[in-house]
Amino acid sequence: MFPAKVYSERRAKLRKELSKGLVLFLGNQDSAFNYPANTYSFRQDSSFLYFFGLDHPDLAGVIDLDNGTDHVFGNDLDINDIIWMGKQPTIKEQALNVGVDNTAPLKELSVLIKDALEKGRMIHFLPPYRGETTLWLSDLLDLHHLKLREHASIELIKGVIKLRMVKDDLEIDEIEKMINVAWLMHTTAMKMAKPGVVEQEIAGVIEGIALSHGGPVSFPVILSINGQTLHNHYHGNTLSEGRMLVIDAGCESDLHYASDITRTVPVGGKFTQRQKEIYEVVLKANLAATGAVKIGVPFREIHLLAATEIVKGLKALGLMKGDVKEAVNKGAHTLFFPHGLGHPMGLDVHDLEGLGEIFVGYDNEVIRSKEFGLAFLRFGRKLQKNFVMTIEPGIYFIPELIDSWKNENKMAEFINYDKVETYKDFGGIRIEDDILVTDNGARVLGKPIPKTVEEVEKTMKS
Ligand code: GLY
């Protein structure tokens, strides 16, 4: 946990973003895995962690905007709990560690909220995303669970996004530590990527590396020789010569800050000419995008710059044709690069996404597109100092998408379908780093993870 004053200051800053009433943060509860007592590993809600820091189930935090007090609600363990869980600090002791003096048992929370409702006080809450929290909130507010999202406080959502998007040094340090663990996960995977190995053997080892450094993986490991499927969580294929292996994996720190890195490597350790050509295009898009990061530049522009590099490269290889700018404007690149360039990262691997991408990634100046491809860009608005973003361009040959476009003769002025046909067995390539927006542009965070063709081949041989 960070020093208590970090949490007190965050709550003080949040107060300045809001006008009146109560701010209610419900912590997460345990969720049943296959029967009530066998639960998933506990993961605290990220906004609760940010403002109240406590990493246990069944807690709530309240900020009273009207009288200036902060409260933690939770129950101390009784002897029956202690038999199973051991002695734990009291709620009072825990709350003091995050700068909160006022504590009360959970049943007092219902009393406070009921009283506030009767007095017509504003109760700010974030949209819930878990079943248990949804039901808890619904009971507390006496509001049907299907109505909760529409009653969530826009003022609070915007305030939380404003604060959490800008990372301080402590947070950046946590993120970098996890990128350094990702370095070990990725270089280990590179060395294991030999013909005859089954994907799950590598996925298991790298997930173990994450766990052995404290936290779990920050999202289910994506590791596949079928990297053309963007989020492929199937790990049953056997690696064979000639395939590329996409490894998209990161981990969480003890305090739950994430890393999210993708590398793509040739099975066996040596790129073929065809693999190298496509890889170099993706790498160029990755470097160009990173080089274009600047305070005040809309991330959508950087996404389109990466798309331009991809079209230029594919045109040079004879897979695309025509005017590059026009191809990007019309979205022809989305046959090969159908997703967004990146997303914010922090306490959530897709930071703050649960509060609504429309609030996190867009504003009055940059409106979310509805076009295929650009619509998947999770974040389009202007970058600010100390935002942490992923930069993750890719090129994928998705046979079903190629067939579908080809049957419609879609964008035929920009796509050489005959040549593209010969790449249907290629798979996909994605190269992803986590960057910090600084006064000077972008800083690629963490220990450099092999990225050029030479670096990847050298690591795989070692
Ligand atoms: N790297 C996984 C994701 O962004 O969803």
What is the pLDDT at residue 191?
98
Q: Is the CB of 219 under 6 A from ligand 1?
A: yes
Could you tell me which of 211, 206, 171, 181 has the C-alpha nearest to residue 192? 206
Quick check: 376 pLDDT over 90?
A: no
Superfamily of domain 169-461: Creatinase/methionine aminopeptidase superfamily (3.90.230.10)
Q: Across residues 337-343, what is the average pLDDT?
A: 97
Query: Residues of CATH 3.40.350.10 domain(s) within the chain?
Result: 4-165
Residue 84 confidence class, pLDDT cut points 50, 70, 90: confident
Q: Which residues belong to CATH 3.90.230.10 in the chain?
A: 169-461
CB contact burial 244-270 (16+ within 10 A = b; e otherwise): bbbbbbbbbbebbbbbbbbbbbbbbbe
Percent residues over pLDDT 90 in the chain: 94
- The CA 397 to ligand 1 mean position distance, Å, reads 19
Q: Is the CB of 396 under 6 A from ligand 1?
A: no
| Averaged confidence pLDDT in the chain | 96
Residue range 24-63, pLDDT digits in tens: 999 999 999 999 999 999 999 999 999 999 999 999 999 9
Banded model confidence at residue 215, pLDDT cuts 50, 70, 90: confident
Ligand 1 touching residue 260 (CB < 6 A): yes
Asked if residues 218 and 255 have their Cβ atoms less than 8 Å apart, the reply is no
Residue minimizing CA distance to atom 4 of ligand 1: 350
Cβ–ligand 1 contact at 248 (below 6 Å): yes
pLDDT at 445 over 90: yes
| Cα–Cα distance for residue pair 236/243, rounded to 1 Å | 15
The DSSP 8-state label assigned to residue 451 in this structure reads: -
Atom of ligand 1 nearest to the CA of 350: 4
86 φ, ψ to 5°?
80, 170
Q: Which fold has domain 4-165?
A: Creatine Amidinohydrolase; Chain A, domain 1 (3.40.350)
268: left (phi over 0), alpha (psi -120 to 50) or beta: left
Cβ neighbours for 387, distance < 8 A, ≥ 6 positions apart: 165, 166, 167, 344, 436, 437
SS3 label, residue 80:
helix
pLDDT tier for residue 17 given thresholds of 50, 70 and 90: very high
Pocket test for ligand 1, best of 350, 352, 357, 430 (most atoms within 8 A of CB): 350
What are residue 261's DSSP bridge partners?
249
Q: Which atom of ligand 1 is nearest to the CA of 343?
A: 4
Confidence class of residue 210 from pLDDT cuts 50, 70 and 90? very high
pLDDT, tens only, 343-361:
999 999 999 999 999 999 9
